[in-house]
Each structure stands twice: as structure tokens, then as C-alpha cells.
């Protein structure tokens, strides 16, 4: 099996590395070229369209995989021998037998990419070009699943032998509120993982800010809100006149004001965002332990949450926007869902309100959640399960209480959504439609028109929903979790409405991966459903799913959560930007650590600019230096975006004292003073200051 797996994997890797279409989904082109050279291949470039192919020697790949396999089996054998000796285990399998069992269960996962390649060839020969293109685009996911299954098969048997399992009798029959299912303890390993996440992502965020790589728009503008509130200027940034409530009813970051008064820095906001996101692993652990009955399974799912690439993109988005208050709502929702299952209604409702203060989008999760609560006692199977296991709160099995709380949550959520989108936000926008209506432009110009057209034109709705981009987006969210949330269809249905809206969002369609902030409410629902799905694989479960998993995957109770953990890690390797990803270490990638996290000369030169601008000045600046002027009298945006504060004209506001232009950022389109519009159209009003930055920045001062 080991030899067969290596041959199959080598064949698949030869296909992946053989074309720039598939290879560049894993590596940058320079790194791909280096790997091909090391393996003894040669790249051939088409002079017409610059596409490239290569023929990597099959034998080189096979020998490399055989070496990896030998090292892996040797390591497994050594670890197993040490464990058996230290515990004096009387295992029914000999050491050789355990190695053979792992070899068969692990290396069969390496057949998966080969099978995918065979199907892809058949699809291509059949003339199904669109399907073939989609299968090619998903090749990196197939490799991630293959490696995750292989690594889980090696590691889980070792971890499962020493994992701490919650007592089966107490886990199966304890009432809500009784130990151990209601405990607020967490594993030490999870605390280490949470701490590591906070340290790593806080450091990355801080270094991005110090390197002048964090934009003001949709990121540092939230810090400007705190500064302006603290100094009596109102809850606003100066991108546009008016309060920020005309954009979103999003005020949760004002809770940082007491600390911000002591340390008035954007770095404080970055620290708390990473800390709060990481804290979401704690309720994931509690819910997973409640339903799996195992500390080991709960730890796997909670660490998988920290490795989940859509979560990490909430911390650092694909466009390097590093702070958004919606992240606070995600963690509030996770804690709220845990409290809901415990029957602590007042605490859950309080946390729901906190989530709504993070962004009105959470109402799209709370409304279907109210429906879920409403129908629970009417589902006989669910009621029997709850009564038998004691894992659901009493109100979820009482028709009177469930109707009361479920209907209340549904009505309140819908009412809040209508209040914010139809009354409050338009009022703060002087009656204008909410800005995110344009995300659904194909259905109309206003939210009302959009809703009506979605309901009355099912053909258009289905046409926009069932697309390759929708499939790609859903795979980005569900595949790292091994589709585990789908095993809890009632809980997963809570996320369906907002998932549908995300698949219709024009911004999402342009980049059909969870790279931005829109999916934050979905993450909470997905992990809630995934935690509940673990009950199918409990030790005391006799479900068909468990029997199928025992037969085709592994009889180890930790395999499924361990596989999810491994899959979140491997998907993060190929699509993420954390230190565990290829892109972080790939010098040809935009996300290479030395390019992003080591402040370059541009950031050092900016000090000479900053000292020229007095604190009481009103400054217009380009986006990535804009964050440095939010503590001045006013900080305006200098761009081609027509803003109300400038009369919707391509100019700066009339009271602007200084203009600062960054010439070296990758979005910069002004490279020299002769390209500056003010020096072209109004040279009598503006004075070009002496260049102290070797051309990195252009500074203009208004003539008085």
C-alpha cells in the first residue's frame, strides 16, 4: 500500500507541477521554477501566450515520496514503541501489526489525487470543458485532503491512546448544569494554542501597521472613531461628513475607549481583535466536549478553529485590512450559542445584543436561530435525544418556553434588521439607500426592490446562486471542516440564508473565497453545527455514520475531529497567509514574510514627512499613510474617489492644509510631482515642499 500510494501521489504531483495553471495555485512562479530545477525538470514557455509547461521526472518524485514515507513510518514506530514501553500497554496488536495497520489506513489517502486526475482526464476526453476547468481549479484542495487524511492516520492513533475522555456515564446521562458537560474548564493544550495564535497574529498585524501597509479605509478608520469621540469630534472619521452610523450600526469598538484613553494607538485595536478571535476557540471547545463526550475531540475542533483559514482572513484580510469590529460579534455569537445550549437565557440574549452591536449582519443569523429554537420541541427525535443525553436545555424541549423564546428571538431580529436598514442608517445618510445595496445590483437599486425581485424572480435567483463562484465560495468555508456541519442539518440551516446572500454578493463573486469580512457571522454557525455533529461519533453511539466511519476511515473515536484539525491545517498551508502557509515563506509571493512584516525603507523615510506636519493641521493623504494623520485636526482621503466632504469633485476639501502622497505603495499611481493634479490645475494655491525622502513621498502645503 505504501508503494502504491507513493506511485499514485507521484503521478498526481507530476500532473500538478507540469502546468503553470495548477502549479501556481500552490506556489509562486519563481518557486515553481526552483522546484522543477531541483527535481530535474525543465520549463517550456509558450512564446504566444506565455503559458508554461514542464515535464518533471516521475522517478524523482517517487524517490522523494518514498523517503518521506520511510521517515514517517520510522517516526511512528519509534513513538509507538516508546509509548508502549512507558505505559506497559497490552495492546492486541504487535508493533509490526500497528505499523502495517497505519500503512494501509494512511497511504490509501495518497490514492485520492490519482483518482481525481483519472476522472479529470475522462471529463476532458468527454468534452466537458467547464467541469474539467473547475476540477483543475480544485486540485489544491484534493492534495490538502490527501495529506490531511494521511497525517491524521499517523498521528491520531498515538494521540488517541493517551487522550483524556470525559466519563461516558456522566456525559451520557448528566443533566444540563451538572458536571462534566457544563464545566467551564478547557484543556491546557488549547490554552497554549490560543496564546500562540494571539502572539503570532498580533505581531503580524503590528508589523503591517509599522510598515505602512494597513489601509485607513475599513481598518484604521475605526481607530479614528475612538480618537474623535475621545476628543469631542463625534463618532466619525473624516472620509465623509456625518456620523459613522450612516454606514453601519456598529458601535462595539467604543467599548475599548477606557483602555484607548490610556494607550491611544491603533495597535491596541489590533491586539484586542486577535485576542477576541482566539477566545472563540473556548466556546467551540465547550460545545464540542458537550456533544462528543471527549476532551481530545473537543481540543481537536477548537484548535481547528484557530487554524481555519476563513477565520484567519478575518484577522488579516487578503487586502491587508487588519481590523474590523465584526470580529467581536463572531466570538460573542459563539459564547451565546454555548450559553443557549446550557439554558442560560439571559446571558445568551445579552451576548446576542453584543453581536448585533458589532454589525447588523448578525440579525441574519439570529432570525433563523429563533426558528430553530421554535421547532425544537416539535421534533420527536431531537426531543428524545435531549431527554436521553441531557445535553439540551429544558426550554428547548418545552413547547411553551421554546415558542416563547424562539418567536421572541425571531421577531426581535427581523425587527432590528428592518429598523437599522430602513430607518436608522438611511436617517444618518440623509435618506440615501444603504451603501451595500449595490452589492446586489442585479436585483435592484434599493433593499426593498432587491428583496421583491429575489422573491418574485426565482429564475434569476437560481441563475445567480448556482454558479461556479458559489461552489468555490462554499467549498472555501465547508471543505476545511470536512463538511462536518452538514451532518447537523437543523443547525446548518441557521447559516443557509446568509450563505445564500453571500453567494449573491457581487464582491464575493469577484473573489469567490472567504478572504474578506462578510462571512464572520457564518463561522459561528458552522462551528456550532460542527460541534453538534460530533455526537454521531461518540463512543456510546451506534449510528450508521459511526459504523461507516469505523469501516472506511478509522475505528478511533478521535479520527474525525483529528481529520478536521489536519484538514484545517493543510488547507491553510495552500490557501492561507499565516506562518504555516506556503505563501508566507515563498519569496516570490506577495505575502512573503520579509515583504510584509519587516518595515522597509519606505516606512523609515516617512518619519521625515511626519515631522513636517504640525498636529493642528488638516491633512489629505493617500490611503496607506492616512492612518498616521488620524490624530491631527482632520485627516482627509486623497484619492480619485469622489467624496461628499469634497463636494463630490476630484479635489481635496477647501480647508486642507497639507497633502501627502505615497509614491511607492503598490496602489500608487502618482510617481512624481508633475503628476499631482493640484500642481497641474492650481499651482498658485500649493507649494511643493523639499523632498527629504528620496522620492518616496510628495508633500504639498497650501499657500496662505
| Mean pLDDT, residues 17-36 | 88
Residues 205-255 pLDDT 10s: 999 999 999 999 889 999 999 999 999 999 999 987 788 888 888 999 999
Of 162, 187, 205, the residue at which a domain comes to its end is 162
Residues 621 and 575 in one domain: no
Can you name the residues that pair with 700 across neighbouring β-strands? 659, 688
Q: Is the dihedral of CA 386, 387, 389, 394 positive or negative?
A: positive
Sole residue written with cell 440623509 = 430
**Any domain includes 486:** yes
Of 162, 195, 229, the residue at which a domain comes to its end is 162
Residue 18's nearest CA partner among 47, 49, 61 is 61
Residues 117-133 pLDDT 10s: 899 889 888 888 888 88
Q: What is the CA radius of gyration of the chain?
A: 28
Torsion of CA 127, 129, 130, 135, to 10 degrees: 100
What is the residue range of 644's domain? 601-702
Residue 612: C-alpha distances to residues 567, 618, 638 (Å) = 51, 13, 18
Residues 286 and 422 in one domain: yes
Residues 91 and 121 in one domain: yes
Dig out the grid coordinates for 670 from the structure. Answer: 502618482
Residues 413 and 365 in one domain: yes
Residues 155 and 205 in one domain: no
Answer yes or no: are the C-beta atoms of 531 and 304 closer than 8 Å: no
Residues 237 and 359 in one domain: yes
Residues 534-582 pLDDT 10s: 988 876 666 677 677 667 676 677 888 999 999 999 999 999 999 999 9
**Any domain includes 442:** no
Alpha helices in 138-186 (DSSP H): 139-162, 168-173
Residues 553 and 650 in one domain: no
Residues 133 and 269 in one domain: no
* pTM for the full predicted model: 0.92
b/e sequence 394-422, b meaning 16+ C-beta within 10 Å: ebbbeeebbbebbeebbebbeebbeebbe
Dig out the grid coordinates for 255 from the structure. Answer: 467599548
Dig out the grid coordinates for 165 from the structure. Answer: 475522555
**Any domain includes 455:** no
**Any domain includes 460:** no
Residues 525 and 662 in one domain: no
**Residue 87 pLDDT level (bands cut at 50, 70, 90):** low
Of 129, 162, 195, the residue at which a domain comes to its end is 162
The confidence score (pLDDT) of residue 384 equals 41
Q: How many domains does the chain have?
A: 3
Measured CA to CA, the distance from residue 167 to residue 172 in angstroms comes to 8
Measured CA to CA, the distance from residue 52 to residue 32 in angstroms comes to 11
Residues 178 and 288 in one domain: yes
Cβ partners under 8 Å of residue 2, min gap 6: 69, 73, 103, 107
Does the N-terminal peptide bond of residue 127 adopt cis geometry, omega within 30 degrees of 0?
A: no
The confidence score (pLDDT) of residue 543 equals 67
Residue 107's nearest CA partner among 74, 140, 65, 161 is 65
Residues 298 and 263 in one domain: yes
Dig out the grid coordinates for 281 from the structure. Answer: 476557540
**Any domain includes 448:** no
**Any domain includes 62:** yes
**Any domain includes 475:** yes
The string of DSSP letters for 319-334 reads T-----THHHHHHHHH
Residues 133 and 30 in one domain: yes
**Any domain includes 109:** yes
Amino acid at each position: 500500500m505504501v508503494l502504491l500510494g507513493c506511485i499514485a501521489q507521484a503521478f498526481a504531483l507530476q500532473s500538478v507541477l507540469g502546468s503553470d495553471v495548477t502549479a501556481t495555485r500552490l506556489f509562486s512562479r519563481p518557486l515553481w521554477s526552483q522546484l522543477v530545477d531541483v527535481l530535474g525538470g525543465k520549463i517550456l514557455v509558450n512564446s504566444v501566450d506565455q503559458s508554461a509547461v514542464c515535464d518533471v521526472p516521475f522517478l524523482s518524485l517517487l524517490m522523494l515520496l518514498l523517503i518521506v514515507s520511510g521517515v514517517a513510518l520510522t517516526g511512528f514506530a519509534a513513538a509507538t514503541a516508546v509509548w508502549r514501553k512507558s505505559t506497559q500497554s497490552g495492546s492486541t496488536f504487535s508493533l509490526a501489526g500497528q505499523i502495517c495497520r497505519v500503512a494501509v489506513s494512511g497511504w490509501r489517502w495518497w490514492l485520492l489525487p490519482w483518482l481525481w486526475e483519472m476522472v479529470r482526464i475522462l471529463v476532458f476526453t468527454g468534452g466537458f470543458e467547464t467541469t474539467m476547468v473547475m476540477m483543475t481549479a480544485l486540485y489544491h484542495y484534493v492534495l490538502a485532503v490527501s495529506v490531511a487524511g494521511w497525517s491524521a492516520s499517523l498521528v491520531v492513533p498515538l494521540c488517541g491512546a493517551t487522550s483524556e475522555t470525559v466519563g461516558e456515564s456522566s456525559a451520557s446521562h448528566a443533566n444540563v448544569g451538572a458536571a462534566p458537560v457544563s464545566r467551564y474548564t478547557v484543556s491546557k493544550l488549547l490554552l497554549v494554542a490560543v496564546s500562540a495564535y494571539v502572539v503570532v497574529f498580533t505581531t503580524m498585524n503590528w508589523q503591517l501597521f509599522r510598515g505602512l501597509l494597513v489601509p485607513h479605509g475599513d481598518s484604521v478608520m475605526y481607530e479614528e472613531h475612538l480618537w474623535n469621540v475621545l476628543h469631542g469630534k463625534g463618532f466619525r472619521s473624516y472620509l465623509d461628513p456625518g456620523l459613522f452610523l450612516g454606514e453601519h450600526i456598529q458601535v462595539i469598538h467604543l467599548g475599548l475607549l477606557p483602555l484607548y484613553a490610556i494607550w491611544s494607538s491603533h495597535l491596541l485595536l489590533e491586539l484586542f481583535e486577535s485576542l477576541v478571535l482566539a477566545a472563540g476557540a473556548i466556546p467551540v471547545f465547550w460545545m464540542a466536549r458537550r456533544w462528543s463526550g471527549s476532551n481530545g475531540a473537543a481540543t481537536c475542533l477548537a484548535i481547528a478553529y484557530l487554524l481555519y483559514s476563513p477565520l484567519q482572513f478575518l484577522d488579516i484580510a487578503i487586502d491587508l485590512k487588519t481590523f474590523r469590529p465584526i470580529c467581536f460579534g463572531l466570538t460573542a455569537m459563539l459564547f451565546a450559542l454555548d450559553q443557549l445550549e446550557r439554558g442560560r437565557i439571559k446571558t445568551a440574549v445579552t451576548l446576542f445584543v453584543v453581536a448585533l452591536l458589532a454589525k447588523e449582519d448578525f440579525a441574519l443569523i439570529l432570525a433563523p436561530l429563533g426558528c430553530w429554537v421554535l421547532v425544537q420541541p416539535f421534533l420527536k427525535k431531537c426531543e428524545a435525544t435531549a431527554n436521553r443525553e441531557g445535553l439540551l436545555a429544558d426550554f428547548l424541549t418545552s413547547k411553551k418556553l421554546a415558542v416563547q423564546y424562539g418567536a421572541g428571538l425571531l421577531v426581535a431580529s427581523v425587527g432590528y434588521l428592518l429598523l437599522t436598514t430602513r430607518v436608522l442608517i438611511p436617517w444618518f445618510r440623509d435618506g440615501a439607500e444603504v451603501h451595500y445595496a449595490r452589492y446586489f445590483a442585479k436585483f435592484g437599486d434599493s433593499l426593498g426592490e432587491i428583496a421583491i425581485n429575489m422573491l418574485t424572480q426565482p429564475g434569476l435567483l437560481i441563475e445567480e446562486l448556482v454558479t461556479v463562484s458559489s461552489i468555490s465560495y462554499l467549498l472555501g468555508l465547508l471543505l476545511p471542516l470536512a463538511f462536518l456541519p452538514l451532518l447537523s442539518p437543523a443547525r446548518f440551516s441557521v447559516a443557509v440564508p446568509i450563505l445564500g446572500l453571500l453567494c449573491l454578493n457581487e464582491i464575493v463573486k469577484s473573489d469567490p473565497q472567504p478572504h474578506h469580512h462578510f462571512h464572520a457571522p457564518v463561522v459561528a454557525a458552522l462551528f456550532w453545527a460542527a460541534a453538534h455533529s460530533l455526537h454521531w461519533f461518540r463512543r456510546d453511539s451506534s449510528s450508521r455514520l459511526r459504523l461507516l466511519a469505523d469501516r472506511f476511515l478509522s475505528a478511533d473515536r478521535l479520527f474525525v475531529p483529528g481529520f478536521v484539525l489536519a484538514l484545517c491545517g493543510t488547507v491553510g498551508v495552500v490557501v492561507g497567509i499565516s506562518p504555516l502557509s506556503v505563501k508566507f515563506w515563498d519569496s516570490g509571493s506577495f505575502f512573503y514574510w520579509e515583504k510584509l512584516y519587516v518595515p522597509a525603507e519606505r516606512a523609515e523615510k516617512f518619519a521625515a514627512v511626519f515631522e513636517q506636519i504640525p498636529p493642528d493641521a488638516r491633512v489629505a493623504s493617500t490611503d496607506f499613510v492616512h492612518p498616521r494623520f488620524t490624530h491631527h485636526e482632520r485627516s482627509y482621503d486623497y484619492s480619485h474617489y469622489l467624496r461628499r466632504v469634497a463636494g463630490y469633485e476630484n479635489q481635496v476639501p477647501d480647508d486642507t492644509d497639507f497633502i501627502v502622497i505615497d509614491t511607492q505603495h503598490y496602489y500608487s499611481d502618482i510617481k512624481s510631482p508633475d503628476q499631482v493634479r493640484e500642481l497641474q490645475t492650481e499651482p498658485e494655491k500649493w507649494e511643493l515642499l523639499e523632498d527629504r525622502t528620496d522620492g518616496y513621498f510628495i508633500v504639498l502645503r497650501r499657500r496662505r
